[in-house]
Chains A and B, each alone.
Chain A
């Protein structure tokens, strides 16, 4: 007979999905299991046994974190379904979201050697020729149209021709080009930011793990705060937007969220957003993780509220309208001259309109089958309106929010009668709106194929395929994976 304790320990099965075994990367069934407010991904490999991994801790409650949307399949799938998800990425016709942001890795070299690196980048390696990259960008543009393009690596700024690559991207037709960087060269060479700006780069997606050098030493191997500040100052002078990107690791910088936000707010308007990334275990990492080594999205949201003294509230975060709800949160906040923060995101509905426990994919016939709405203010609720291209909307939002504002100082009130503080708010909204977001990448332990099918952050590989970020970077415990050419399965 099952005891009450055993029942509690077993938890409640919420829904089913598929995942992979972290040991052999075989696709296996998985269940989402709730114990109290925590949710785990539970799976069993016939060869390697049972695996259970935390994917959601605490509030906002897992069941409320929904944003139903209709699938938008790739218009030009480059791969056919053969082995099944996640082994036919390219994209395949079963993928449920189009590309929003696509990464182009211009080098595998890097001038840091971080304890955590999804790309396992290092000092050595050769770079693809500029002409090769140009051809890859042209093929990408033919397939996806003007997605947001992120020049990534390795550290892309180690290439002397990076401005030329950015310029080519703009000529091909990409309207929003950002550079994913550790900031070292941007700090070292005062005119480098201006060269990127002149080449058409809009934003630097800046590795920024915290406001203390002990954090940088633990995660990146050395003190970097002074370089980060110099890089931001140089970007400000050049008119480049900056998004701070902290990878959040329990025991290293999870207590620094509030200070990171204060740091960002002090550097508006050049800093456009903070994009938190809970640590994932793929590529290079110190050791295979236990649940204690993980932090989940609700913990980061709650941590931001606690550490900001309530100036930023969990209620003002919401799931995004393009990718799977469980992959991210976002909110936008306008800072006033006296330091007050006004949210531009409405409080989220705290209960789902659907009684289903399935928070991911809309089911035909349910009230959410016709879900995603045109009116963004009501987008978390069901409606009868037509589906919209959430990926295109997210792409436009990112481009608008993360680029440097056209005016860098608070502008004069709009024409017409003065409305006091309202005018101040309007002026600040144009220059001092900060996006605060988080994205939970999936690794071999947490991979949920329902989430992966909804992914809209992709990497274009050397063969021209467009592959979801978490699939491309997937690695098993032996470091091999299905996609990265430098670490193929089969060793």
Chain B
């Protein structure tokens, strides 16, 4: 698996450079292991646009039910 490109993203609260870390995303009742950028101090995770608007939106479309 490739990791997300490491952009020069800093945590706006802690002013620390984000680091790649294995993060558990909880979605519906399921958990997925994903490598994301995380602040080493406060733990805040950066959700890149590709994930938020692309891949998560793809699943949301699947959720349209009867």
The residues of A with any CB-CB pair to B shorter than 8 Å are: 316, 318, 320-322, 330, 332, 342-347, 376-377, 379, 390, 393-394, 397-398, 414-423, 425-426, 429, 433
Contact at B58–A422, with CB atoms within 8 Å?
Answer: no
What is the minimal beta-carbon distance from A331 to any residue of chain B, in angstroms? 9
Asked whether, in the complex, the Cβ of B54 is within 8 Å of the Cβ of A414, the reply is yes
Q: Is B42 close to A, CB under 8 A?
A: no
Q: Report yes or no: A398 in contact with B66, Cβ–Cβ below 8 A.
A: yes
Does the CB pair B55–A342 fall under 8 Å?
no
Interface residues of B in 1-54 (CB under 8 A from A): 1-5, 25, 28-30, 32-35, 48, 50-51, 54
Using A377-B63, A421-B34, A422-B55 as known contacts, list a sample of 16 further A-B pairs with CB atoms less than 8 Å apart, ordered by residue number in A: A318-B65, A322-B66, A330-B66, A332-B65, A342-B30, A343-B28, A344-B28, A390-B66, A394-B66, A415-B54, A417-B4, A417-B48, A419-B55, A420-B34, A426-B59, A433-B62
CB pair A420–B32 under 8 Å, yes or no, is yes
- Chain A interface, DSSP helix/strand/loop, else mixed: mixed
- Choose from B55, B62, B65 the contact partner of A423 (Cβ within 8 Å): B55
- Give CA–CA (A398, B50) in the complex, Å: 29
Contacting pair A397 B34 (CB below 8 A) = no
State the 4 A-B residue pairs at the shortest beta-carbon distance, nearest first: A416-B50, A417-B4, A342-B30, A320-B66
CB neighbours (8 Å) of B48 from chain A are: 417
Would B58 and A414 count as touching, CB distance under 8 A?
yes
Let me know if A347 and B29 touch, CB within 8 A: yes
**Can you list 28 residue pairs at the A/B interface with Cβ under 8 Å?**
A318-B65, A322-B66, A330-B66, A332-B65, A342-B29, A342-B30, A344-B65, A346-B28, A376-B63, A376-B64, A377-B63, A414-B54, A414-B55, A415-B54, A416-B50, A416-B54, A416-B55, A417-B2, A417-B4, A418-B1, A418-B3, A420-B1, A420-B35, A421-B33, A425-B30, A425-B32, A429-B59, A429-B62
- CB atoms of B62 and A422 under 8 A apart: no
Bound CA span A332–B28, Å: 12
Residues of B within 8 A of A390 (CB): 66
B28 touches A422 (CB 8 A): no
Give Cα distance in the complex from A437 to B52, angstroms. Answer: 30
Do residues A426 and B55 form an inter-chain contact, with CB atoms below 8 A?
Answer: yes
Which residues on B sit within 8 Å (CB–CB) of A344? Answer: 28, 59, 62-63, 65
A296 CB, nearest partner CB in chain B, Å:
20
Given contacts A416-B55, A417-B5, A426-B55, contact A345 B32 (CB under 8 A): no
Chain A neighbourhood of B65, CB < 8 A: 318, 321, 330, 332, 344-345, 376, 379, 397
- A214 smallest CB distance to B (angstroms): 33
Q: How far is the CA of A343 from the CA of B62 in the complex (A)?
A: 11
The distance in angstroms between the C-alpha atoms of A420 and B21, with both chains bound, is 12
Residue among B1, B48, B64 with max Cβ neighbours from chain A (10 Å): B64
* A459 CB to nearest B CB, Å: 20
